[in-house]
Chain A
Amino acid sequence: MIEVKNLTKRYGKITAVDNISFSVDTGEVLGFLGPNGAGKSTTMNIITGYISSTSGTVTVDGSEILADPKKTKQKIGYLPEIPPLYTDMTVRKYLEFMFDLKRVRLPKKEHIAEIMRLVSLDKHGDRIIKNLSKGFRQRVGFAQALLGNPPVIILDEPTVGLDPKQIIEIRRLIKSLGKKHTVIFSSHVLSEISATCDRIIIISDGKIVADAKADELQSVLSGEQRLSLTVEGNPTQITEELEKIPDVLKVKKTGGSGYSVEYRQGADVRREAFSAMERINAPILEMKSGNESLEELYLRLTENAKGGER
């Protein structure tokens, strides 16, 4: 659906985006993760045609943004970091304007009403945008991006500045969008991305440092895998039993009744560990896979990318 090839953007001597390539499949929800200033917004602005790249191409559903801007832009709904709202208009008037601007060919009143319902704005259609709170403004921005049901929806940090309840609502909305649309959304909050996305791209200093399925990210990046266990019982017996499991490489006691089990990549030893412990009647109190939390991984990756200049 979206194909980004060798994208580079330079501002004078500063390289904001450095030769990145990725593609997004139809119906996929892609999370764009990176610290502030990593180049997320720049990349999104290029994909949507707001700014031009220094080199590289972006193709959306077969049409290229520079060669055929009108056709390409029609396929994208974009919510920039700061929602582009005309604050002197009412919500409905603004959406009607955006509807006309985007040349949507759907029944106007019904479509706008439907979108407003979707983002829970239906009771606020006649309010002037400048009197709305940040959360509501964000929703108006969201509604604007959804107008015309574009196949691709791009959201730049849609949850920044919202309260927890609104964040949960927006996440739910993004997830539901993923069924019909291809979605790219960016954030610097990791838990949010891992909760909503099928796939995650981590970007740091304009480069892609990781690109993986959300649930595979940890394992792909950390080489061999590790399981941490808290088990009650005789330590020697427990260690012996765990080492008998075929894929296990090493078992280490980590203090108290905690054990750390390293095993071959691609394998899954949780079930074997469970039955082994059951055999020797040693109850498992806690079992957690992965040695690094996603947070730690994220920090390590983005720090590594900066390594050169530190």
Chain B
Amino acid sequence: MAAIYKRELSGYFNSAIAYVVLAVFFFFSGFFFYAYCFVGDTTSLSYVFANMFYIIMFIIPVLTMKTFAEEKRQKTDQALLTSPVSLTEIVLGKFLGAFTVYGLCCVIFLLYGVVISFFAQPQWSVVLCTLLGILLLGASMIAINIFISSLTESMVVAAVVGMAAGLVIDTMGYFISIIPVPWISAALEKINFLNYYTNFTYGILSVVDVVFYLSVTGLFLFFTVRALERRRWS
């Protein structure tokens, strides 16, 4: 697993992907930070975090599109699958690689907290709690997108489907509100991603939210392992 993790990181940083993703993330988070905290004259980062999902929605599919789709197309998966490592280790190595790059993106929020501290006292508990939230949200999105990448041979398809999935998650609230059958909308409300994210942006740390994102992450990583397994048998 360590070998795959190292290889993933070197893959991200030897190509333009990591740099482009970091640059886009920093630019937009910086823009939101400026627009809400400076122009809006507040120490609360809640609005910044609430808007970050629009960026995450686009950068995570770019980060993960290559993971399995490209391996399959270039036939490098033959090296992985004929080596003495389990599928779980392969999937985890790739997940952690993408998550590390994403984590580096998110570290910028600590800097914003420091910037605020020059002008006023930032609420560190809220900043840290939201940071945890955005990391957890990202982890589950990465898992979903890795799963999508494992289903196709084309990284463009993986990226586009991943972004579409992001849009579905983003607009889920609207969909739920127009469904006239109460039990269906109630059930969908339970898996509405952003519901679980909002609490974090207020600085509320709840076990339910943490467990939700961790379960989604675990579930989709498990699906990925199964998808790879299935490919072998078909």
- Which A residues are closer than 8 A to B by beta carbons? 11, 45, 48-52, 69-71, 73-74, 76, 78, 80, 82, 84-89, 93, 97-98, 100-103, 144
Contact = CB atoms under 8 A, between A and B. Distances in A.
Contacts of A74: 84
Interface string B1-21: 011101100110011000000
Contacts, number: 71
23 contacts: A49-B81, A50-B81, A50-B82, A50-B232, A69-B86, A70-B85, A76-B82, A80-B75, A82-B75, A84-B77, A84-B78, A84-B79, A85-B74, A86-B7, A86-B76, A89-B7, A89-B10, A89-B14, A93-B10, A100-B3, A100-B6, A101-B3, A101-B79
Contacts of B85: 70, 101, 103
A101 B80 contact: yes
Interface of B: 2-4, 6-7, 10-11, 14-15, 74-86, 232-234
A101 B14 contact: no
A11 B233 CA distance: 9
Contact of B7 (A85, A97, A144): A97
B82 A78 contact: yes
Given A50-B232, A78-B78, A82-B75, A88 B15 contact: yes
B232 to A, nearest CB: 5
Nearest to B86: A70
A86 B11 contact: yes
B82 A73 contact: yes
Given A73-B83, A100-B2, A51 B232 contact: yes
Given A50-B82, A76-B82, A78-B82, A85 B232 contact: no
Contacts of B232: 50-52
A211 to B, nearest CB: 25
A102 B15 contact: no
A247 B145 CA distance: 74
Contacts of B2: 100
A126 to B, nearest CB: 14
A89 B7 CA distance: 9
Contacts of B84: 69-71, 73-74, 102-103
A129 to B, nearest CB: 11
A88 B79 contact: no
A301 B7 CA distance: 46
B75 A84 contact: yes
